[in-house]
Every structure is written in structure tokens, then in C-alpha cells.
Copies of this chain bind each other. A is one copy, B any other.
Amino acid sequence: MSASTPEARQTCIRDCHALVPDASGVLTLARHQDILIQGSRISEIRPTGAPLAPGVEVLEGQRMIAMPGLINTHAHVSMVIFRGLAEDVSIERWFNDFIWPLESNLTDADVYWGAMLGLIEMIEGGITTVADHYFSMDEVARAVEGAGTRAHLGSTAFSSRGYQELARTASFAERWKGGAEGRITTCMAPHAPYTCDDGLLRACVGHATRLGVGIHIHAAEDMNQTLASVNRRGRTPIQVLQDTGVLGVPTLIAHGGGLLPQDIELLVRHRAHVGIAHAPKTSLKLGMGLAPVRALRKAGIPVGLATDGAVSSNTLDLFEALRLLALTQKHDALDSEVMPLAEVLDIATRGSAAALGMGDRLGTLAPGYQADIVLVDTRGTHWQPLHDPMAGLVYSARASDVHTVMVDGRLLLRDRQLLTIDKERVLAEVASGMERLAQRVPGSRIQHYRP
């Protein structure tokens, strides 16, 4: 096997500060480490200084923090093309007067170029994996394949669009499962309990079991949805997921701002394979209320970090999200000691991997894990002096500090330059569709919000 094949590729990130678990499992910053990568996996992490075998490609890591590639546990990536089109509106108007009318304009090509633009923003910001829940998902899968990132993809289904959508979400999950050399995983993607009836949810569980995949769904996004569900169906959204069997398969639940204590009791039983995607910027901006992160963590339920789509969050930036997580949890408790640095970073790395059911191969820098690694440049003014690099990661870092990004040992970004995508082409394609995409035809919408 020649040294140029991916399996034989050897890389050393030399003399970086590495975010790794200490002997007791708590995340810490190990200074001056070499990270050795063989093919697509991390082979060794050791103090810098030992000689390297010939043929090893060296990436200099001085004054960089190496951390696991960030995992965006819930997004609608292609929606970046609508960025800024639905500001300061209620959640009802956000859906009914903006998003769902705007989405009636969408073409496959829009979804493709939107996915490429969103992938660029995410790679530039250190995000190596995204759980995406959207339409025209073959386009997204093609974009991910080309970009070189990792993704967990599901094709959105609503009951209102008939059972052909169920067939579509199932056939997509089957078609792309294990795609892009294993970088793509798939799932069934019913939209939400308020847009999917019990029959559709049960059918999704059946397909998920048949295909050996999980489910990605919005649920209990805010307390109004929970109350509406109790009023209409006599059950909370989480109880609906329980009753329809959704919680019996690996399930990723987006938001959770409307979780009640009894919902957490239900989720605890399924915590080995059910996780919550917490998107603080969207929850704050749309006034949805925050997921009860501390209670979920205390109950051992995996919590991951997410951006959601850019029409609610405006950016696909997990450094922003992890800072908002920390600040809002301290604020919510009126206690500056809660959500300390190591826990914030744990949620953003291992928590997100666990929420996706991928904690055994992603989210940790350790031998045997996939070599999805981000180097964060600590040389900016806002990091100086660097008394505490972990504080820097949580409270100073910006997406623009991301210097190098690797997935499966392959470089996607180096010295802030994209290596796998023609950015100018993508920007031009997106710009060319702007005017058409911003049109909202009265009465034309893909769905109606009534939780």
C-alpha cells in the first residue's frame, strides 16, 4: 500500500495544547502534545518531543488548541439561503408567514447550494459533523460527500403531505446509509408531534427498525407546544413519542424548551439511546425557553449542542452556542458556579457525540477515535494573556479563530483556507438566487403551524 492512500496516511499535529479527558475522565488541557493520526483515526497522543517516523506529515500546532471536531446536533443547513428573512416575529408568524411560504420557493439546486454555503460556514467554524433535517436531502448528501465532512441526515416528513413523504424519508435513509465512505449516517425524520400524526410516527419507527437507523425529530420545542399537546391529545409531546414507540429506537430530539419533569422521567428510561439537541441561540431568539440542561444532565440524558437553521439562529456557529449555553445556565440558576468550563466543553464534544449515538467514535481526542480534529488559534488579541486556555475556548474563542480542520484524517481547512470547496463559485450561485428566494407568495406555504 503506497503512502498516498488514505489508509496509510500518517499525520502528526505537533506541539499543540490538546483538550483531552484526564485520568478521572474530566476534560482538561494537556499542554505541548503531539497527536498522531494513522489513516482516518487517532493512533496516539503523547508529550511533544519524540522523533517522528519518516513520511509523517507534520502540522505545526504551536499556540493552537486541538479539540474534537465540533458536532452540530440539529440544523437545517440549506436554510442559510434565507438568512435574515424572518427577524423579530412570533413563532407562529415565523412559520406561517415566513419559513413555510419561503420554502415553497425551494428548488433542488437551492438546497444544494445552500448546503454548500452552510458547510463552508461550518468548516470555517470548526464543525465537522452535522445532523441535518430538511428537504431534497439527496442534494445535501451530495454536498457533504464533496465537502468531506461527516453528517447524520434525515429527509423531513409531515403528515399533511401524505404517505409518499414517509416513503421518501425511508428511501433516503436506506439509500445514503453509510454513504460518502461511511461519513454519512441516516435516520427517519418525522418533523414533529404537532405535524405528524401517531400513524406516521409509528410507521417511522417501523422503517427505522427495519433499516437499523434512528429517528431525528423536533419535540417539546416550547411550553406552548407542550400545553397544546396536553389539551388536544391529553399527552405531552414526549408522551406521544413514548406511546408511538419513537423512544424505543435511537432518537435525537431537537430543542426541549417545553420539557416537563415527568418528561424527563420518561426520557431517563431511554437515555442509552435518546438525546436532546439544545440550540440556545434559537431558543433565546424565538422566545421558546431553554431546555432544562442541568436537570437532563443530572438524569444522565445526553445533551448536545446545536445551531438550528440560520433563519432562527442567523449563524451556524457552535462557539457562539457553547458560550450561550454557559452564560444562560449560570443566569438561569443565578449561580456563577454552575456549568463550569469543563462541563461546557464536555457538552459541546462528548455530549453532542452521545446525543447522536456516536460517543464511541466521535467527540473525544483519544487513540481509536476518528481523526476529526480542529485547531483553534489562540494568538488573537482577545485571548491574551493566555492564563487559562479552557476559559479562552469557552468565553473568548470565535469561529474565526479556527485555523485547521480535519475529518477522518483528511484536511478540509488549513491556515483558514478551504481545501475541498470552491467558495467563490458557491457564493456566486447563492447570490444569483437571492431575489427569487426572498419572495413570499401570499397563501403559498408548505405547511401550517398550529401546535
A-side residues, CB < 8 A to B, are 80-85, 87-91, 94, 117, 120-121, 124-125, 281, 283-290, 313-317, 324, 326-328, 330-331, 333-341, 380-388, 390-392, 395-396, 398-400, 423, 427, 430-431, 434, 437-438
Q: Which of B338, B384, B438 contacts A83 (CB 8 A)?
A: B384
Question: What separation, in Å, do the CA atoms of A286 and B382 have in the docked complex?
Answer: 20
Contact B395 A398 (CB under 8 A): no
Given contacts A82-B387, A83-B396, contact A124 B284 (CB under 8 A): no
Contact A382 B315 (CB under 8 A): yes
Contact B330 A327 (CB under 8 A): no
List B contacts of A339 (CB < 8 A). 88
Contact A340 B381 (CB under 8 A): no
Given contacts A90-B337, A331-B284, contact A387 B85 (CB under 8 A): yes
Q: Which of B87, B88, B337 contacts A88 (CB 8 A)?
A: B337
Contact A287 B330 (CB under 8 A): yes
Contact A431 B385 (CB under 8 A): yes
Number of copies: 2
Contact A341 B385 (CB under 8 A): no
**Dominant secondary structure of chain A at its interface with chain B:** helix
Nearest residue, chain B, Cβ from A283: B331
Given contacts A315-B382, A382-B315, A398-B398, contact A328 B284 (CB under 8 A): yes
Contact B340 A285 (CB under 8 A): no
Contact B315 A121 (CB under 8 A): no
Contact A91 B384 (CB under 8 A): no
Query: How far is the CB of A223 from the nearest CB of chain B, in Å?
Result: 8
Q: Which of B285, B334, B438 contacts A387 (CB 8 A)?
A: B438
Query: How far is the CB of A111 from the nearest CB of chain B, in Å?
Result: 15
Query: How far is the CB of A323 from the nearest CB of chain B, in Å?
Result: 8
Nearest residue, chain B, Cβ from A386: B84
Nearest residue, chain B, Cβ from A87: B391
Contact B287 A340 (CB under 8 A): no
Q: Which of B84, B91, B316, B333 contacts A392 (CB 8 A)?
A: B84
Contact A336 B384 (CB under 8 A): no
Contact B387 A287 (CB under 8 A): no
Q: Which of B80, B117, B388, B431 contacts A87 (CB 8 A)?
A: B388
List B contacts of A380 (CB < 8 A). 400
Contact A427 B384 (CB under 8 A): yes
Contact B83 A285 (CB under 8 A): no
Q: Which of B124, B396, B430 contacts A315 (CB 8 A)?
A: B396
Question: What separation, in Å, do the CA atoms of A155 and B345 have in the docked complex?
Answer: 38
Nearest residue, chain B, Cβ from A326: B285
Question: What separation, in Å, do the CA atoms of A250 and B331 have in the docked complex?
Answer: 31
List B contacts of A87 (CB < 8 A). 340-341, 388, 390-391
Question: What separation, in Å, do the CA atoms of A284 and B326 have in the docked complex?
Answer: 9
Query: How far is the CB of A65 from the nearest CB of chain B, in Å?
Result: 13
List B contacts of A340 (CB < 8 A). 87-88
Contact A336 B381 (CB under 8 A): no
